[in-house]
């Protein structure tokens, strides 16, 4: 391929060339690494035009509404794969053969118990703590328990930490819920799949075994697949930035969980259900929509920084949503009727059409989780447990890259110019 370049011309006639780097899919990028030699920096708050890294894991075309994990369309994975197979794919770059799949599943499902002393950690939190607060703390605390896998330069240590995180984060999430409810801790159970085990740990009690409904377990597994990775989103970029300093993987994933918590990111599915509660009934939708258009509030679960077309995950989730509501006979439940009315009105409203605002995955996943009986405060922890594999895959890709550098953005300073200290007695 010919060497392409972009030329920057100055008013005084000087110019500087920057090479153009092609990807296998998606837009080319201008390599501006030498730009600082000009004595200036680029300015791009929110990274609207900046690729912060090279990656081979996930591809998104926001205009066409495409999402691929390692080249495989998300629709095919949601239909034919399961979450642990998708984890293997994201981590290793290829789908496993039958033997590899068996070993991977076995390893993850054998490591889902927590060190018994970790359980005492939970007791330090207030009972009413948000489960995300508990997750940030307890996942970060794993680094105090697994010293034997903290050498980030050792590929075996990295792999062991990856297994530990993927296996144990669901247990931590479920226990955060149970602690909040005052329920006794529930250990994972042999013979269940990843999603079944999560439902078991959430809902079984010593006096009532939770009978897993296969339709609900499959829906949850699909939610896990759809949330497993999403290229350089805010929390993944946070994990990369934290990891670029050499911090251990447990600390980095805790940082990712903290970032995910925000309502513009992983907190949106929780915000969707809160919004439905606030609206209350279909009759109040027109007034609510007026408020959206006046920018008093947003329609949560709509819009996306990258997708300016239907989020492909939302299409799959909508179908799963129908399956779950049918299975549970909830189609006429007022809350779910309200959600469907809201979706229909927004899809036909010029405000949303002109701005290319479509329902995102969180609009439907919130409804599915709620129908399954999962409390709203657990929605973002479930997103976090599914995204753990994506974070780990990106962290591993970055650490294994010999060209890795600590992330250190610069700034446009607009604060005070130099001035001298004034003793307090002389200040006005």
- Nearest-angstrom CA–CA distance, 23 and 68: 14
Choose which of 142, 220, 254, 292 interacts with ligand CMC (CB under 6 A): 292
Between 194 and 352, CB nearer to ligand CMC: 352
Measured in whole angstroms, the distance separating CA 158 from the mean position of its chain's CA atoms is: 20
CB distance 65 to 309 below 8 Å:
yes
Q: Is 300 in the site for ligand CMC (CB under 6 A)?
A: yes
Number of residues in contact with ligand CMC under rule CB under 6 A = 20
Stretch that binds ligand CMC, among 85-93, 177-185, 205-213, 291-299 (CB under 6 A): 291-299
Contact 238, 262 (CB under 8 A): no
Confirm or reject binding of residue 256 to ligand CMC (CB under 6 A).
Answer: no
Question: According to CB under 6 A, which one of 188, 266, 312, 381 is a site residue for ligand CMC?
Answer: 266
Q: HEC states along 153-171? A: CCHHHHHHHHHHHHHHHHH
Q: Return the number of the residue (324 or 361) whose C-beta is nearest ligand CMC.
A: 361
Among 309, 394, 270, 300, CA closest to 64: 309
Q: Is 312 in the site for ligand CMC (CB under 6 A)?
A: no
Q: Kindly identify the residues of this chain, within the stretch 388-407, that bind ligand CMC according to CB under 6 A.
A: none
Binding flag, residue 226, ligand CMC (CB under 6 A): no
Instruction: Clarify whether 362 is annotated catalytic.
Output: yes
The region of 15-23, 82-90, 259-267, 404-412 touching ligand CMC under the rule CB under 6 A is 259-267
Question: Does residue 302 belong to the site contacting ligand CMC (CB under 6 A)?
Answer: yes
CB of 342 to ligand CMC, least distance (A): 11
Of 65, 170, 249, 301, the one binding ligand CMC (CB under 6 A) is: 301
DSSP per-residue string spanning 338-350: HHHHHHHHHHH-H
- The angle at the Cα of 301, spanning 300 to 304, to the nearest 5 degrees, equals 105
Distance CA 19, CA 39 (A): 19
- Give the active site residue among 82, 265, 311, 394: 265
Structure tokens at 96: 């496993």
CA 60 to chain centre: 14
Residue nearest to ligand CMC (CB): 303
CB 158 within 8 A of CB 179: no
Among 167, 299, 371, 398, binds ligand CMC (CB under 6 A): 299
Residue 304: active-site member: yes
Q: Does 274 bind ligand CMC (CB under 6 A)?
A: no
| 197: nearest Cα among 207, 186, 205, 182 | 186
Does residue 230 belong to the site contacting ligand CMC (CB under 6 A)?
yes
Considering the rule CB under 6 A, would residue 308 count as an interface residue with ligand CMC?
A: no
Binding of residue 258 to ligand CMC (CB under 6 A)? no
200, 230, 362, 394: which is the annotated catalytic residue? 362
Q: What is residue 280's DSSP assignment?
A: -
Residue 192 and residue 203 in contact, taking contact as beta carbons nearer than 8 Å: no
Q: What is the C-alpha to C-alpha distance for residues 318 and 30, in angstroms, rounded to an integer? A: 38
Nearer to ligand CMC, 160 or 225 (CB): 225
Backbone angles phi, psi at 16, to 5 degrees: -140, 140
Binding residues for ligand CMC, per CB under 6 A?
230, 233, 264-266, 268, 292, 295, 298-305, 355, 357, 360, 362
Q: Which residues are catalytic?
A: 265, 304, 362
């Amino acid at each position: 391929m010919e060497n392409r370049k972009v030329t920057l011309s100055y008013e005084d006639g000087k110019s500087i060339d920057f090479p153009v780097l092609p990807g296998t899919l998606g837009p080319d990028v201008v390599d501006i690494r030498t730009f600082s030699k000009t004595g200036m920096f680029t300015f791009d708050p929110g990274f609207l035009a900046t690729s912060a890294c090279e990656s081979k894991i996930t591809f998104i075309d926001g205009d066409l509404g495409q999402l691929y994990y390692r080249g495989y369309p998300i629709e095919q994975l949601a239909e034919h794969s399961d979450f642990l197979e998708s984890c293997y794919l994201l981590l290793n770059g290829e789908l496993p053969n039958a033997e590899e799949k068996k070993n991977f599943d076995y390893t993850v499902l054998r490591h889902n118990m927590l060190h018994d002393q970790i359980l005492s950690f939970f007791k330090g939190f207030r009972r009413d703590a948000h489960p995300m607060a508990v997750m940030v703390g307890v996942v970060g605390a794993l680094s105090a328990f697994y010293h034997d896998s903290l050498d980030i330069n050792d590929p075996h240590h990295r792999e062991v930490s990856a297994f530990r995180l993927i296996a144990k984060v669901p247990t931590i999430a479920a226990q955060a819920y149970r602690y909040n409810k005052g329920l006794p801790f529930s250990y994972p159970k042999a013979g269940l799949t990843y999603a079944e085990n999560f439902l078991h740990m959430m809902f079984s009690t010593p006096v009532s075994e939770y009978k897993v409904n296969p339709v609900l377990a499959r829906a949850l597994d699909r939610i896990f697949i759809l949330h497993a990775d999403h290229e350089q989103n805010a929390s993944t970029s946070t994990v990369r930035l934290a990891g670029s300093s050499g911090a251990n993987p447990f600390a980095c994933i805790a940082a990712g969980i903290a970032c995910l918590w925000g309502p513009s990111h992983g907190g949106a599915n929780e915000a969707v259900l809160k919004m439905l509660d606030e609206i209350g009934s279909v009759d109040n939708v027109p007034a609510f929509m007026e408020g959206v258009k006046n920018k008093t509030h947003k329609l949560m679960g709509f819009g996306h920084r990258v997708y300016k077309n239907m989020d492909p995950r939302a299409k799959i989730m909508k179908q799963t949503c129908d399956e779950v509501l049918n299975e549970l006979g909830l189609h006429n439940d007022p809350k779910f009727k309200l959600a469907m009315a809201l979706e229909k009105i927004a899809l036909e409203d010029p405000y949303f059409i002109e701005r290319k605002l479509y329902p995102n995955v969180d609009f439907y996943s919130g409804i599915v989780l709620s129908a399954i009986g999962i409390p709203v405060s657990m929605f973002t922890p479930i997103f976090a447990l599914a995204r753990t594999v994506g974070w780990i895959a990106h962290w591993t890709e970055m650490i294994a890259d010999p060209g890795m550098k600590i992330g250190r953005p610069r700034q446009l300073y607009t604060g005070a110019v130099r001035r001298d200290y004034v003793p307090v007695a002389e200040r006005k």
